[in-house]
Amino acid sequence: MINNIIFDFDSTIINAEGNELLVQSALHNMETSKRKPLLDKLKDYTHKATNGEIPLSEAMRGRYALTRVTQKDVDKVAKDILTIINPLIGEIIADLKKRQKNVLVFSTSLEQIVLPVTEKLGIPKENVFTNQPVYDQNGHITGIDENNPLFMTMGKVYVAEKLKNKNLLAGGTAIIGDGYSDLVVKKNNLAEIFIYYSGTVDREEVRLQADFTVERFDQLLPLLSSTDEYSQDKFTSKSKITMDVFPETFLLENIHPVAIAKFKEQQFNIENYNNAWLEQKIIEKAVRANVLGIRSKTKITTQVIQNMSDLWVIGAFCIGTNQIDLDSASNAGIPVFNAPYSNTRSVAELVVGETILLMRRTFEKSTAAHNGKWFKKAEGSSEVRGKVVGIIGYGHIGSQVSVMLENLGMTVLFHDIVDKLPLGNAKRAKDLYDLLEKSDVVTLHVPDTPETRGMIGEKELIKMKRHSYLLNLSRGKVVDLAALRKMLDYGHIAGAAVDVFPDEPGSVDEKFETPLQNAPNVILTPHIGGSTQEAQENIANYVSEKLSNYVHTGSTIGSVNFPEIELPRVVNTHRILHIHKNVPGVLAKINSVFARRNINVEGQILQTRDKIGYLIVDVNTDVSDQVYEIMKHITETIKVRRII
Ligand SMILES: NC(=O)c1ccc[n+]([C@@H]2O[C@H](COP(=O)([O-])OP(=O)(O)OC[C@H]3O[C@@H](n4cnc5c(N)ncnc54)[C@H](O)[C@@H]3O)[C@@H](O)[C@H]2O)c1
């Protein structure tokens, strides 16, 4: 339990730096041209000392050497400062005292300006530790008492240590502030937690090392009070808790009705549009979206992601995700789901059909018939039954093709860089060349990788059986099309079916060109391997299922950019999804807070991937409010969502 709460004074209790205010006041009457560089220097000292870039002692000496601070300045600032007390601090301190907490103030400012404030806040004088000025005989401040520990960067550590040794810091301690001198108290194990709060500028160097970060004082209470003390009081109710029952869902690019029906069934609030949107339009119109569904034309840029702070998840209702800046999505805590395998069957069916059509030279004869020619000869036409098909890439599509062509009586050989289980009577070829030499038909089903680009060139085509056939419905850069044309013209390759090309037109108005045009027995199709109604429906089913799973359970299985986890729900619990920066110790930090508060975790799972850590925690409904609050303020937090 946290019993002692040490507040930093400057930028915490007051929204300014006390030492800066004094020197500023002394510089007040100086003419602007002279004053400006001194004020800059003053700010620089504060900035560097607070970030720990220079020793505090150097900043103290430097600041007070800039001008002569008089008792008049001290009196003025002591009066003015009462008007810049952080408005919520009075209520918070009163609440902490009501809960019997020991409230202390450690300040590097001078006693004369700190005490009027702490007195007003009802903090006993013996709990307030400050610096002391040194005066000359004329009452001018010539410097600060350098024997006082708070004159130094480690000053707060020394003060805390002394209190601890006198048993005046019994129980757990939290320190709240924005400076390096506050952080070191935690680093030296004199406080269990360091909570970052800055009422002035953000000090990222310090913030990133804090256990928790709060933007407002009222957010402190849930972090400081124990489970028993915690209640739905006026402070906690101020924090906005996201209830995710009816997610705002924006669907662009005419998403299949199956998906819309599924979302409606689950009471998602849907806005459905037919077209792709440009960056600015998404930012303006879909800014409140929790769920965003697109197809391949809408570009989801860093700009879009950074402007959509309420976005939980993106669904790409298509195969690829090149249109989405996946890194930015991950960094913003947004998983992306697509449907990479929903069109497997469509591609496999076309491969089967084209294998038959090629071996019967159907297209050639059909084109001739269209042109009034009657090519009825059986020469060069054969059945597929009894022939050998060589499948390169035995993944989702390759293995489907394997089963289907074997059922037509073909012998299947395959080649894959991964050790794959052969289906039916399929056999693994010794290597790529073994497959090429033995196959009557070769079909490619590999991804686009540096290794597969150009993997079928002249050398490989020559290795293929004379009068064999080649199909490429995988990726455009896998086959050297000029070399293929040459081999078709020689008659070494008897025919080819190609669905994918290195340069594909972006629209119907763009001209399509390939060296294969007008080659004998070649089927050219415009990347339609996976384009069927069924595939569209499968995609809609698959992606909407993934999105609603994520919304309702936090499951990220199948996400392209996120750690993949799922956890069965436990009854009578609330689930907190915590997405954080993947740095060591986050889970330990969270669990130590839970332990300190006796919070029983009913279920928990953590997975990391690159820069992202994703934690699912199930806790009893009674404590979910406070767990949610704690998780929100953990410094490494990127996004938190509660599922009730
Ligand atoms: N024409 C279309 O409309 C269409 C539609 C869907 C998919 N595709 C493409 O089809 C291809 C296969 O898709 P999938 O869903 O079966 O993918 P998959 O990832 O399930 O399978 C790919 C297989 O290729 C293997 N592989 C990778 N590199 C290899 C190499 N150098 N040599 C041999 N094997 C290698 C992998 O181990 C894997 O088994 C992909 O390129 C995909 O983009 C095209």
* CB of 399 sitting under 6 A from ligand 1: no
* CB of 224 sitting under 6 A from ligand 1: no
Q: Looking at ligand 1, which atom is closest to the CA of residue 319?
A: 6
Q: Looking at ligand 1, which atom is closest to the CA of residue 478?
A: 41
Q: Is the confidence at residue 237, as pLDDT, over 80?
A: no
* CB of 445 sitting under 6 A from ligand 1: yes
* CB of 345 sitting under 6 A from ligand 1: no
Q: Is the confidence at residue 359, as pLDDT, over 50?
A: yes
Distance 556 CA to ligand 1 centre (A): 23
**266-284: average pLDDT:** 95
Reference 110, options 147, 145, 82, 156; nearest CA is 145
Claim: this prediction has a pTM higher than 0.85: no
In whole angstroms, give the CA distance from residue 72 to residue 29.
13
Q: Map 103-165 to HEC letters.
A: EEEEEEEEHHHHHHHHHHCCCCHHHEEEECEEECCCCEEEEECCCCHHHCCCHHHHHHHHHHH
* Average model confidence (pLDDT) across the chain: 92
Q: Is the confidence at residue 231, as pLDDT, over 70?
A: no
Q: Is 217 exposed, middle or buried (0-12, 13-18, 19+ CB in 10 A)?
A: buried
**Atom 27 of ligand 1: nearest residue by CA position:** 446
With bands split at pLDDT 50, 70 and 90, how would you rate the model's confidence at 232? very low
Give catalytic residue positions. 475, 504, 527
Q: Is the confidence at residue 559, as pLDDT, over 70?
A: yes
pLDDT of 228 reads: 56
* CB of 392 sitting under 6 A from ligand 1: yes
Radius of gyration of the chain (CA): 35
Q: Looking at ligand 1, which atom is closest to the CA of residue 500?
A: 1
DSSP 642: E
pLDDT of 240 reads: 40
**Strand, helix or coil for residue 179:** coil
pLDDT of 78 reads: 92
Question: Is pLDDT larger for residue 153 or for residue 382?
Answer: 382
* CB of 446 sitting under 6 A from ligand 1: yes
Tell the residue number behind the tokens 């999105």, with chain if given. Answer: 547
Taking CA atoms, 525 is separated from 393, 498, 500, 502, 514, in Å, by 21, 6, 8, 13, 12
State pLDDT tens for residues 58-91: 998 999 889 888 888 999 999 999 988 888 889 8
**200-208: average pLDDT:** 87
Dihedral in degrees, nearest 10, Cα atoms 489, 494, 499, 503: -20
Distance 433 CA to ligand 1 centre (A): 19
Strands across the sheet with 336-337, in order? 269-272, 248-251, 291-294, 313-316, 336-337
Distance 393 CA to ligand 1 centre (A): 6
In whole angstroms, give the CA distance from residue 452 to residue 477.
8
pLDDT of 239 reads: 39
Q: Map 308-373 to HEC letters.
A: CCCCCEEEECCCCCCCECHHHHHHCCCCEECCCCCCHHHHHHHHHHHHHHHHCCHHHHHHHHHCCC
Tell the residue number behind the tokens 């709990």, with chain if given. Answer: 127
Distance 474 CA to ligand 1 centre (A): 6
The amino acid sitting at 555 is S
pLDDT of 229 reads: 57
Report the sign of the C-alpha dihedral through residues 593, 596, 600, 605, in that order. Answer: positive
Q: Is 386 exposed, middle or buried (0-12, 13-18, 19+ CB in 10 A)?
A: exposed
Taking CA atoms, 557 is separated from 251, 335, 380, in Å, by 22, 10, 49
Distance 613 CA to ligand 1 centre (A): 29
User: Are 641 and 242 contacting, i.e. CB atoms less than 8 angstroms apart?
Assistant: yes
State pLDDT tens for residues 470-527: 999 999 999 999 999 999 999 999 999 999 999 999 888 999 999 999 998 999 999 9
DSSP 239: S
**186-207: average pLDDT:** 90
In whole angstroms, give the CA distance from residue 253 to residue 416.
36
pLDDT of 222 reads: 76
Q: Is 431 exposed, middle or buried (0-12, 13-18, 19+ CB in 10 A)?
A: exposed
Taking CA atoms, 30 is separated from 39, 78, 150, 388, 552, in Å, by 11, 21, 30, 94, 63
In whole angstroms, give the CA distance from residue 585 to residue 582.
9
What is the CB neighbour count within 10 angstroms for residue 252? 23
**Strand, helix or coil for residue 393:** coil
pLDDT of 227 reads: 56
pLDDT of 168 reads: 93
pLDDT of 245 reads: 63
pLDDT of 621 reads: 87
* CB of 476 sitting under 6 A from ligand 1: no
Q: Is the confidence at residue 241, as pLDDT, over 80?
A: no
Proportion of the chain above pLDDT 90, given as a percent:
74
Reference 554, options 610, 618, 602; nearest CA is 618
DSSP 456: B
Q: Is 28 exposed, middle or buried (0-12, 13-18, 19+ CB in 10 A)?
A: exposed
Tally of helices (H runs) and strands (E runs) in the chain: 23, 25
